[in-house]
Amino acid sequence: MLMHRIIGIFIAVVAFSARYGPVEAQAQVQPRRAVLSGFVTDASDGQPLAGATAVLRDLADAAGDVPSYGVAANADGIYIVSGIEPGSYELTISFIGYEAFRDTLALSAGDAVRRHAALVASQEELDEVLVQAGREHGMARITAGRQRILPEEIELVPSPDISADLANYLTVLPGVVTTGDRGGQYYVRGGEPSQNLVHLDGMLVYQPFHVLGFYSAFPADILDRVDFYAGGFPTRYSGRLSSVIDVASRYGNTRRFAGMASVSPFTSALRIEGPIVPGHASFLIAGRESFLERIAEPLIDKNLPFRFGDLFAKVYGPATRNSRLSISALRTHDRGTIAEEVGEEAPEEVRWSNEALGARWVIVPRILPVVMNVHLSHSRHQTELGPRDEPFRMSRIYHTRFAIDALFEKDRFSWEGGWDGLISGESQNRLDGVFHLPETSARPFLEFGFYAQSTFDLGRGLVVAPGARLQWYQVRIDPWLEPRLRATWDRGIHHFSAAVGVYNQEVVGLTDRRDVANVFTIWSIVPRPEDDENERDPLVGRLGKSVHGLLGYRAAPKPWLEVSVEGFYRRMQNLFVAEWTAFPALTTRLHPARGRSIGMEARVEMRRAPFYAFVNYGLSSTLYHTKYEAIRYWFDTESLEFRPPHDRRHQVNALASVSWKGFDASVRWAFGSGRPYTRPVAFDSFVLLDRAASVFELMRSRRVIYDRPFNAVLPTYHRLDISVERTFRFDGAALTLQGSVINLYDRRNLFYLDLFTVRRVDQLPLVPSLGIRVSFE
Amino acid sequence: MLKGRIVRIVLAARLQESSVLQYPIASNLLLSGVLVAFLCLTGCEEDVAGPSGVDAPFSMYGILNPELRTQTVLVAPVEDLLVPESGGALDAVVTSTDLGSGTTYAWRDSVVANATGQLDHIYWADFTPEYGSRHRVEAARSDGLQSSVEVNIPEPVRIDENDPGSRILTVNVSAPSDFSLIRVDAIYGVRFYDKFEPGTPCSTPVKHYAFPYKGAEIKTNDGWRIKLNLFIHYETMRSYYHDDVLADIDDLRFRNPSTDGLALMSLKLDLTVGNPEWNLPEGVSIPNALGHPNILSNVENGYGFVGGGYDEDAPIYPSYRAIRDTPFFDFMQRAGGDYCLGTIEDSEG
């Protein structure tokens, strides 16, 4: 009955969309109409020009001043004009900063015509008003949790490396909390790191952030764009509770060879790209490797026991006349000791790696005015804790992802739908008894779903996008319905947006959150009740669930000024928290918990050449609520409510950048209020009284005496970073020098406090850095 | 790269058109802001609060046992560091008094390393408390602060077996006054037997396997009732026995349940009897949760728990009819019927 009801609701949603969607799409291919489509690219390097406009003017219209049809190219540079009445037209494809492409077309009934355009950059002055109006990116340009991030914005944030990185940019976002500059853990609006969905060209990457917080697998110079959803994400994304980081890498240069090499005290990087078939197919290879021990450690006189690196490769080219195929591959590796040495006890080393290989086939079918995507990828992630040759904890997860979707767009309507699944997945864990999972376990998993989302332009600036996802998870046979809605309302300079949605997560990342230095994450699957052999696994049947609600306002009172405010609320169920133990050890049991997060983000952004600046403020409150038998005896209460260690109430980020006489200078200041921690009362010794024996024969241990967990707050965090960059251009080559100082006033920012030794571990001190980059094209 | 160029072009275009915000103003504002932030913040270093601290001087842990000649109690100072800087003498005088007779005992310190290498102070005294007696143990610091605890020693228990002739045996544990059962284990002694090789059983060793029954006891008017199920652990023991014994012997294997299996050689109930205060709340696991200061806490002006109790065991002799209702019985009946009763051991501990 439940399954029938869920499927019934999903079909109703899809049918509602279909009333306007596929039916209308079918109408467009009726014999009396014609379809025009094509790819728009930059003639200099073959990159798609997202947002380029294709306009058809009816030559029979004597005045000719009103376009008959007009569309914008999507992120892949694809445009489709459908439902064209037979006749003669002038086609104009244009993009700001480029010479327009013009052609004359005589279209007959039933024609399906293609015109690809490679636009040449123009030397004429730009119309910046158009740029502002069409701009999708920017710090304050957030729409119901969604923000588009471009590489040049990432490059504005000072970092100790000349190679800018998405990870460093994420830290300036008001809804993103990091616990410090090591560990690679990102918390978005109260969610946990394992609840973030990270896609690179559609490949799911489990832990793409490097052990040193400035770096990820996404250096800016391989990126085309990043869509970051802090919540309320649409139906095409699934399997995570908190956020989406959807990274699209750029294609290699199809016209000529280009490359880049850079060196800084932290990393060295290399990138090579060029044509495989000139004008059509290209490759791009980029790699990066850290060498902190050799330069950075002596420079700042601080132990930095980290090694990391990544390698990315991509080939791209036309598969047929109306399709493009790209193949991407990624490999990352990290190792390091997050905590610091205490006494003679060496901290445990954690290691992780990611491997992913994927293909994406973008098709513009002749028979339908839709854009189709077919995606196939395989992702693998492994993490270990302990000695390298004999780790005592290991977690591995892998899967194959297959997805197929279609997008139909018309003037006031668009429809998107498809099938998306993780197949042949398995998580394998060897855990030395921690978390009360079996010492070794292997759990296969399969999850897939159908989704549909329609976008209706209802007029008067109101656009709504209802959708639903029908998702099957391993935990039960019946599917799960995940309804979602996004809406925007434009009234002059005022822009309102909202989103609500239901999200589920079957693949869970288990980490001992009592200690931020413990970043070892066990990836496991929520087991079905019938698979629970020992009947003690707290995960059984508890599929993670979250409900998001967002409401935002944005305004551009001046062409150079934009402000936005967004409030959010999310409710989370079936979280897992570590049981509190008085023993100074990290072995623990898990207990289910629920939580809620509520907050507000305010942003002000100013773009006034040669000046650029923004200020962000984030206010949030996250509470976890857990209930299990022992709590009653420990805390004299039936349940326990506490602030998790990532509940940072206030966060401010300010950035200013200026270009002057060939120099690009940026300054960034970050502030975060203190995070909760558990303040101990005292320490003593404990004897396990499990039989009536002499104390000499019984197990004895040191113990921490504490009151309630997370009952105190750590000091505030703030830091000032600056960077100055100058590029010298030569014939076909460029030399860039960058000087930066991280933590300019050498603030002792706490990374974590060892609960048992009351010993503090600080984040990076003042770090001067000089980087050099050589690029050619 | 391309979009980077576009933005730079746009920025350049705006520079030309800019009339509202001139660059020097912006630059000065920026410089002023940086300077103010720098001056305000460099001097503001915050430290982290350490342990909040308590007045209680000691934690005490131990069990006064009427079956031991030497009593032991761990006395640990309540302090601000997990790892104390020195392991010297403890500023504590530990005494105990039999509240019935008034006899006082002075306890002596011994310093012993625990599993993590840190030093514990275990105090000991040579005396044997009487069953049913009551004692007060005190640990006093030189500044006058002291922690103390009063301990009841439980009465001796009586163990009675009720065999209804089925696989479920009932054992009653009773005493004149209230008591707790801290540990309840059923220990089986088993040996391999093959119907077609009657001499084999005597050549294979007897292995003992313990199964906990803690949590399954039922409160009665004068104690506790424990129901032992002779059936449910058979397969587990069979598996253990195979791994422990048969895996190392080439010719012996469990092949057919109707012709070979385990012979029950002994059965013993192993208990820890404690005073009523030594009582774990339901749902609290050992040892993770047991370590919380609020669990098992009876020390005044301090932390920890000192209880009274002793270990007790009793052999159980299942009847022929009871064994016949188990896999042991199946095997033994075909082997000749009186095999089990003829060779069952009292106990091997």
| Residue A404, beta-bridge partner list | A374, A419
Give the Cβ contact number of residue B6 at 10 Å: 19
The 10s digit of each residue's pLDDT in A578-593 is: 777 666 554 446 788 9
Q: What is the pLDDT of residue B213?
A: 84
Q: Using only C-alpha atoms, what is the Rg of chain A?
A: 27
Domain positions in chain A: 31-128, 132-247, 248-675+714-776
* Min Cα–Cα distance to chain B from A712, Å: 9
B236 touches chain A (CB under 8 A): no
Q: Which helix (H) or strand (E) holds A130?
A: helix A128-134
Tell me which residues of chain A, numbers 331 to 370, contact chain B at a CB-CB cutoff of 8 Å.
Answer: 343
Higher pLDDT, A45 or B116: A45
Q: Quick one: what percent of chain A has pLDDT higher than 90?
A: 51
B63 touches chain A (CB under 8 A): yes
What are the structure tokens assigned to A351, written together? Answer: 């290691």
Tell me which residues of chain B, numbers 286 to 325, contact chain A at a CB-CB cutoff of 8 Å.
Answer: 286-296, 303-305, 307, 309-311
Distance CA B224, CA B313 (A): 15
The three-point CA angle A125-A126-A131 to 5° equals 170
Whether B295 sits inside 8 A of A628 (CB atoms) is no
| Matching CATH number, B58-152, of 2.60.40, 1.10.510, 1.25.40, 3.30.300 | 2.60.40
| Residue B242, beta-bridge partner list | none
Evaluate whether A456 touches A411 at the Cβ level (below 8 Å). no
Tell me which residues of chain A, numbers 659 to 718, contact chain B at a CB-CB cutoff of 8 Å.
Answer: 659-660, 667, 669, 679-696, 699-705, 707, 712, 714-716, 718
- Residues of A with Cβ-Cβ distance to B10 under 8 angstroms: 126, 128, 131, 609
Distance CA A243, CA A248 (A): 16
Q: What is the pLDDT of residue A677?
A: 85
3-state secondary structure of B243: helix
* Min Cα–Cα distance to chain A from B310, Å: 5
Single pTM value for the model: 0.81
Whether A745 sits inside 8 A of B42 (CB atoms) is yes
Model ipTM? 0.79
Whether B9 sits inside 8 A of A700 (CB atoms) is no
Tell me which residues of chain A, numbers 164 to 223, contact chain B at a CB-CB cutoff of 8 Å.
Answer: 221
Distance CA B298, CA B312 (A): 24
End-to-end alpha-carbon separation of chain B, Å?
A: 79
C-alpha pair distances (Å), A588 with each of A294, A431, A432, A681, B195: 38, 12, 12, 20, 48
Q: What is the pLDDT of residue A34?
A: 85
The label of the residue with tokens 């930066």 reads: A740
Mean pLDDT value of segment A139-164: 93
Q: Of A325-329, A440-444, A682-686, B295-299, which gets the smallest average pLDDT?
A: A440-444
The 10s digit of each residue's pLDDT in B26-46 is: 555 555 565 555 545 544 556
Q: Which residue of A has its CA nearest to B9?
A: A126
Mean pLDDT value of segment A336-347: 65
In terms of phi and psi (left: phi > 0; alpha: psi -120 to 50; beta: otherwise), the region of A451 is: beta
Query: Which of A698-707, B172-181, B209-218 is modeled with the greatest confidence?
Result: B172-181
3-state secondary structure of B7: helix
Give the Cβ contact number of residue B222 at 10 Å: 15
The three-point CA angle A273-A275-A277 to 5° equals 155
Whether A758 sits inside 8 A of B116 (CB atoms) is no
Q: Which helix (H) or strand (E) holds A492?
A: none
| Matching CATH number, A132-247, of 3.20.20.220, 2.170.130.10, 3.40.50.880, 2.40.30.10 | 2.170.130.10
- Residues of B with Cβ-Cβ distance to A667 under 8 angstroms: 30, 34
The 10s digit of each residue's pLDDT in A116-151 is: 899 998 866 554 444 454 677 899 999 999 999 999
* Arithmetic mean of pLDDT over chain A: 86
User: E strands within A643-711?
Assistant: 650-660, 663-672, 676-677, 680-687, 700-706
The 10s digit of each residue's pLDDT in B86-112 is: 567 889 999 999 999 999 999 999 998
Topology adopted by domain A31-128: Immunoglobulin-like (2.60.40)
Mean pLDDT value of segment A749-756: 75
Residue A771 pLDDT > 80? yes
Give the Cβ contact number of residue B17 at 10 Å: 13
Domain positions in chain B: 58-152, 158-277+308-343
Q: What is the pLDDT of residue B285?
A: 57
Residue B265 pLDDT > 50? yes
Tell me which residues of chain B, numbers 69 to 88, contact chain A at a CB-CB cutoff of 8 Å.
Answer: 70, 72-74, 76-83
Mean pLDDT value of segment A557-565: 94
Whether B81 sits inside 8 A of A125 (CB atoms) is no
Mean pLDDT value of segment B235-261: 79
- Residues of B with Cβ-Cβ distance to A131 under 8 angstroms: 6, 10
Whether B54 sits inside 8 A of A696 (CB atoms) is no
Q: Using only C-alpha atoms, what is the Rg of chain B?
A: 34
Higher pLDDT, B45 or A205: A205
Whether B76 sits inside 8 A of A689 (CB atoms) is no
Topology adopted by domain A248-675+714-776: Maltoporin; Chain A (2.40.170)
Residue type, B274: G
Whether B63 sits inside 8 A of A684 (CB atoms) is no
**Biggest alpha carbon distance in chain A?**
106
The 10s digit of each residue's pLDDT in B296-341 is: 889 999 999 999 999 999 988 888 788 878 877 444 443 444 443 4
**Which member of A128, A610, A689 has the closest CB to residue B61?**
A689
Evaluate whether A748 touches A683 at the Cβ level (below 8 Å). no
pLDDT category at B47 given cuts 50, 70, 90 is low
B183 touches chain A (CB under 8 A): yes
Q: What is the pLDDT of residue A517?
A: 64
Distance CA A371, CA A37 (A): 10
Number of H helices, E strands in chain B: 6, 16
Residue B172 pLDDT > 60? yes
Residue B14 pLDDT > 90? no
Distance CA B278, CA B298 (A): 9
Evaluate whether B50 touches A672 at the Cβ level (below 8 Å). no
* Min Cα–Cα distance to chain B from A686, Å: 7
Q: Of A384-393, A463-472, A525-534, A742-751, which gets the smallest average pLDDT?
A: A525-534
Evaluate whether A665 touches A722 at the Cβ level (below 8 Å). yes
* Min Cα–Cα distance to chain B from A659, Å: 9
B19 touches chain A (CB under 8 A): no
Distance CA A732, CA A222 (A): 20
